[in-house]
């Protein structure tokens, strides 16, 4: 019998936070500082990213409560635009959307743990392979596992913020710079490029929309989960960057991945930095778990409709798509073994930005929402689309190699759709 247990809005919000708070907040500041150095510029980056995520959350809440089907963007795009666009998103989700964050989290885990245990790629590899297996038993067990490690994540981050803001810095010159130079930085191409790291850090704000069928009273609880989680994460992200900048200088942070370790080493010395690194590695378990839970639901939704992917539509006795979980893990493994941290982040960020923009556009096709309705429609949708396309253009200009790789992947998905044959027709939804 399928597992009929439903998750609360708090669990859904926890899932969103677990997916959002992962590698980006602990790793991207060093790359941002290569482009912009003023603290006001850094804060503005994270606020803009948060506002975009909040707008997206409102739009996805409307789409999720309208269609009431697990599968997220695949369902939204198939029903509103065309099955080929839905297929394309599911392809991107499988190969990048949910596999890349898992791979990047595993890479970051290695970066933080290797100075301590010196085990090469094996710590991240072990968690990448093991954690998805926790989601093959039941929704209840997945919920319990996710809640536990999300709680650890939140308490850890609150602890870092509290310590970092309350203690005085131990260095002669910090990276904090509240001068007026931000006015010059925000008009530079580097500012727009830096946004890709920020947008990636906010990736996951839509997570709960992918499992809408597993949420209790989704019309009420899906918007609550998406908005509450995204708002809280925005505040935490800004505070975390201030902590890192306060307790390190720019020379220490420039181009570095382990920015948290660097900052807290200046506070506590080597022993304290070791414990911070260990705890960062542990909190990344929630990130890997969240994406391993949500991602296969998109693959499963597509697999029910298309011939090539049909074997992935099989579920176990609990109604869980085990095969989809395993294939998602396989693609995570491929990305984990094939690229550098920065390359995978840019590559994934560019693709996801484009596909997310298309989904936001699709919401304009829903004229009479059957659930939650996003406010100020269509103003917010157009604001999101214009700004997102602006940023995507700058990314392509500044990072052509990674961007072209992303476009080639999208083209491959369209070709695959052409050779695939639908096993049935999707029901027409009254919009």
- Give the domain ranges of the chain: 9-419
Dump pLDDT digits (tens) for 254-267. 988 788 889 989 98
Q: What is the mean pLDDT of residues 79-89?
A: 90
Terminal CA-to-CA distance of the chain, rounded, Å? Answer: 33
Banded pLDDT at 363 (limits 50, 70, 90): very high
Dump pLDDT digits (tens) for 97-153. 888 889 988 988 888 787 777 777 888 899 999 999 888 888 788 888 888 888 888
Angle at 196 between CA 19 and CA 291, to 5 degrees: 20
Q: How far is the CA of 12 from the CAs of 35, 103, 431, in angstroms?
A: 35, 23, 26
What gap in Å lies between CA 226 and CA 219, rounded to an integer? 12
Domain range 9-419, CATH class: mainly alpha
Q: What is the mean pLDDT of residues 227-256?
A: 92
- Please provide the DSSP assignment of 217-261 as one string: SHHHHHHHHHHHHHHHHHHHHHHHHHHHHHTS-HHHHTT-S-HHH
Dump pLDDT digits (tens) for 179-193. 888 888 888 877 887
The pLDDT > 90 percentage for the chain reads 27
pLDDT at 430: 44
By C-alpha distance, which of 295, 268, 233 is closest to 25?
Answer: 233
What gap in Å lies between CA 355 and CA 69, rounded to an integer? 19
Does residue 3 have a pLDDT over 60?
A: no
CB contact at 8 A, 336 and 344: no
**Both tokens assigned to 33:** 């500082």
Average pLDDT of the chain, as a whole number: 85
CB contact at 8 A, 185 and 43: no
Banded pLDDT at 5 (limits 50, 70, 90): low
What gap in Å lies between CA 403 and CA 68, rounded to an integer? 33
């Amino acid at each position: 019998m399928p597992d009929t247990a439903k998750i609360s809005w708090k669990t859904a919000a926890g899932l969103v936070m677990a997916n959002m708070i992962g590698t980006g907040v602990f790793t991207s500041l060093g790359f941002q500082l290569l482009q912009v150095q003023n603290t006001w510029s850094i804060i503005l980056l994270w606020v803009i990213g948060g506002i975009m995520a909040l707008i997206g959350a409102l739009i996805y809440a409307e789409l999720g409560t309208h269609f009431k089907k697990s599968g997220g963007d695949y369902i939204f795009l198939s029903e509103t635009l065309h099955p080929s666009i839905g297929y394309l998103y599911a392809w991107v989700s499988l190969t990048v959307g949910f596999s890349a964050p898992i791979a990047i989290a595993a890479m970051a885990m290695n970066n933080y743990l290797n100075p301590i245990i010196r085990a090469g790629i094996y710590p991240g590899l072990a968690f990448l392979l093991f954690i998805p297996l926790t989601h093959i038993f039941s929704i209840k067990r997945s919920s319990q596992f996710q809640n536990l490690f999300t709680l650890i994540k939140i308490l850890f981050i609150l602890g870092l913020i509290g310590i970092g803001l309350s203690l005085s810095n131990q260095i002669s010159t910090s990276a904090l710079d509240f001068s007026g130079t931000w006015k010059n930085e925000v008009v530079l191409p580097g500012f727009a490029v830096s946004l890709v790291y920020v947008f990636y850090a906010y990736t996951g704000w839509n997570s709960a929309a992918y499992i809408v069928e597993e949420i209790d009273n989704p019309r009420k609880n899906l918007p609550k989960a998406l908005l509450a989680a995204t708002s809280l994460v925005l505040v935490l992200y800004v505070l975390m960057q201030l902590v890192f900048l306060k307790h390190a200088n720019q020379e220490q942070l420039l181009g570095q991945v382990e920015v948290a370790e660097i900052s807290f080493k200046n506070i506590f010395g080597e022993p304290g930095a070791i414990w911070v690194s260990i705890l960062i590695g542990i909190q990344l378990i929630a990130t890997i778990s969240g994406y391993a839970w949500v991602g296969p639901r998109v693959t499963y939704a597509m697999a029910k409709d298309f011939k090539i992917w049909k074997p992935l539509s099989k579920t176990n006795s609990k109604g869980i798509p085990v095969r989809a979980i395993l294939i998602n893990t396989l693609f995570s493994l491929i990305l984990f073994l094939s690229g550098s941290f920065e390359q995978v982040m840019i590559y994934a960020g560019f693709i996801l930005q484009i596909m997310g923009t298309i989904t936001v556009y699709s919401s304009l096709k829903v004229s009479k929402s059957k659930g939650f309705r996003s406010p100020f429609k269509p103003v917010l949708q157009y604001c999101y689309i214009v700004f997102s396309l602006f940023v995507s253009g700058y990314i392509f200009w500044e990072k052509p190699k990674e961007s072209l790789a992303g476009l080639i992947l999208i083209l491959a998905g369209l070709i695959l759709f052409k050779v695939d044959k639908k096993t049935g027709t999707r029901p027409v939804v009254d919009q």
